[in-house]
């Protein structure tokens, strides 16, 4: 029988964890037929809740679920991990400055990066979901010098999926008719969802909508969708975030479909003027289990300005965590 793939999920007792674990255990992360061993990392106060979730996972009797481990020690939880889903993070609380937020998260993602470096499997792939995701990924990566830098990524797939859904609704087409959507930059309100390269029925999406809708409705709706969900639901996106995490890792391992691409925040190689090393969202394809940034796209002046603004924010965040000694 096949050796199970070990998937470590941090923040396992949180809302996203609850929406994510059952889908992983059912086989949706890795592809059907691949057995999985789950490792749940939580803070001590939440270990009991994680145990409750593990009881429910048992009660699903998933044929592909080979076992569940629970720990409050990253060194234990990442032992032999093939996939790390870094979901648990310190949320911004009232009165917290940006520097405090970055520092609190540095205290989480630094040690987790080191634990991955020291204990994970050689093929480990890491997706950071916990915010500020791009910069948390940078911190984890900086603490894992023995792991190839490209194995550290951050999630913009939820933004990508939101953009697909908004455009499909506007044009009254199925989401499957839309190809080559791109989210550029930071997973934050400055992100740039790009319709100048997206295609609907083989034609450029931006030419099928009016400029006012693109600029004043589409971009802000996608960028502020997280806040709209909080307003409506009284809690932040959870099932859709978990779904996006599944999409990201599934495509990373199994490849993106021919003739299409997706969005992921990956370490920049300097493409499109994004400073090298920043973990920024790009149009990407996955081949042979590795992300590649789609090359050669023409960037119009409007897009250039938007991309530069979001990338400048990422550079600022890198500067701030560097000054705090977190890299």
Q: Which of 53, 131, 191, 280 binds ligand NAI (CB under 6 A)?
A: 131
The reply, when asked if residue 255 is annotated as ligand binding, is no
Which range binds ligand NAI by CB under 6 A, 63-71, 82-90, 119-127, 256-264? 82-90
Question: Is residue 113 part of the contact set for ligand NAI (CB under 6 A)?
Answer: no
Nearest distance in Å: CB 248, ligand NAI: 10
Alpha-carbon span 45 to 59, nearest angstrom: 23
The reply, when asked if residue 129 is annotated as ligand binding, is yes
Strand (E) or helix (H) holding 39: strand 36-41
Question: Is residue 7 part of the contact set for ligand NAI (CB under 6 A)?
Answer: no
Question: Is residue 15 part of the contact set for ligand NAI (CB under 6 A)?
Answer: yes
- For 154, 175, 275, 313, the CA distances from 309, given in Å and listed in that order, are 19, 28, 13, 6
For ligand NAI, which is the closer residue by CB, 53 or 64?
Answer: 53
Alpha-carbon span 249 to 84, nearest angstrom: 10
For ligand NAI, which is the closer residue by CB, 76 or 299?
Answer: 76
Q: Which of 187, 197, 248, 250 is catalytic?
A: 187
Alpha-carbon span 108 to 100, nearest angstrom: 13
The reply, when asked if residue 202 is annotated as ligand binding, is no
Nearest distance in Å: CB 118, ligand NAI: 16
Q: Which of 57, 89, 264, 274 binds ligand NAI (CB under 6 A)?
A: 89
Asked if residue 286 has a cis previous peptide bond (ω within 30° of 0), the answer is: no
DSSP structure class, residue 84:
E
The reply, when asked if residue 90 is annotated as ligand binding, is no
Q: Which of 6, 37, 180, 187 binds ligand NAI (CB under 6 A)?
A: 187
Question: Is residue 314 part of the contact set for ligand NAI (CB under 6 A)?
Answer: no
Alpha-carbon span 18 to 11, nearest angstrom: 9
Alpha-carbon span 156 to 241, nearest angstrom: 10
The reply, when asked if residue 323 is annotated as ligand binding, is no
Alpha-carbon span 321 to 105, nearest angstrom: 10
Cβ–Cβ < 8 Å for 192, 272: no
The reply, when asked if residue 191 is annotated as ligand binding, is no
- Burial readout 247-259 (b: 16 or more C-beta within 10 A, e: otherwise): bbbbbbbeebeee
Question: Is residue 326 part of the contact set for ligand NAI (CB under 6 A)?
Answer: no
Alpha-carbon span 157 to 149, nearest angstrom: 20
Strands across the sheet containing 65-71: 65-71, 36-41, 5-10, 83-86, 125-128, 152-154, 262-267, 279-287, 290-293
Q: Which of 30, 64, 108, 314 binds ligand NAI (CB under 6 A)?
A: 108
Residue reference for tokens 């008719």: 177
Instruction: Report, as residue numbers or ranges, the catalytic residues.
Output: 187
Q: Residues at the annotated binding site for substrate? A: 92, 98, 131, 162
The residues of the shown chain that bind ligand NAI, judged by CB under 6 A, are 10-11, 13-17, 41-43, 46, 87-89, 91, 108, 129-131, 133, 155, 158, 187, 236-238, 241
Annotated binding site for NAD(+): 11-17, 105, 112, 129-131
Query: Which residues are annotated binding-site positions?
Result: 11-17, 92, 98, 105, 112, 129-131, 162
């Amino acid at each position: 029988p096949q050796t199970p793939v070990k998937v470590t999920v941090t923040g396992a007792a949180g809302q996203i964890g609850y929406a994510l674990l059952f889908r992983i255990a059912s086989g949706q992360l890795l592809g059907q037929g691949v057995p999985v061993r789950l490792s749940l990392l939580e803070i001590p106060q939440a270990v009991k809740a994680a145990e409750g979730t593990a009881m429910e996972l048992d009660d699903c009797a998933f044929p592909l679920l080979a076992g569940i481990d629970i720990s409050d020690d990253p060194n234990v939880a990442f032992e032999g991990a093939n996939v790390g889903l870094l979901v648990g993070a310190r949320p911004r609380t009232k009165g917290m400055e940006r520097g405090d937020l970055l520092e609190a998260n540095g205290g989480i993602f630094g040690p987790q990066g080191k634990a991955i470096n020291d204990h994970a499997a050689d093929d480990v792939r890491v997706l950071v979901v916990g915010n500020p995701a791009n910069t948390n990924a940078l911190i984890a990566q900086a603490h894992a010098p023995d792991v190839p830098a490209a194995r550290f990524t951050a999630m913009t797939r939820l933004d990508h999926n939101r953009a697909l859904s908004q455009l499909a609704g506007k044009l009254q087409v199925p989401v499957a008719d839309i190809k080559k959507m791109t989210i550029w930059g930071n997973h934050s309100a400055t992100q740039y969802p790009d319709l100048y390269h997206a295609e609907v029925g083989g034609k450029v999406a931006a030419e099928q909508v009016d400029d006012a809708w693109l600029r004043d409705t589409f971009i802000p709706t996608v960028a502020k969708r997280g806040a709209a969900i909080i307003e409506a639901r009284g809690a932040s996106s959870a099932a859709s975030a978990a779904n996006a995490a599944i999409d990201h890792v599934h495509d990373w391992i199994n490849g993106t479909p021919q003739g299409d691409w997706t969005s992921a925040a990956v370490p920049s190689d300097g493409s499109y003027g994004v400073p090298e090393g920043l973990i920024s969202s790009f149009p990407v394809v996955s081949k042979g289990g590795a992300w590649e940034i789609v090359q050669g796209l023409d960037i119009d002046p409007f897009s250039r300005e938007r991309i530069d603004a979001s990338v400048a924010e990422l550079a600022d965040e890198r500067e701030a965590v560097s000054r705090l000694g977190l890299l």
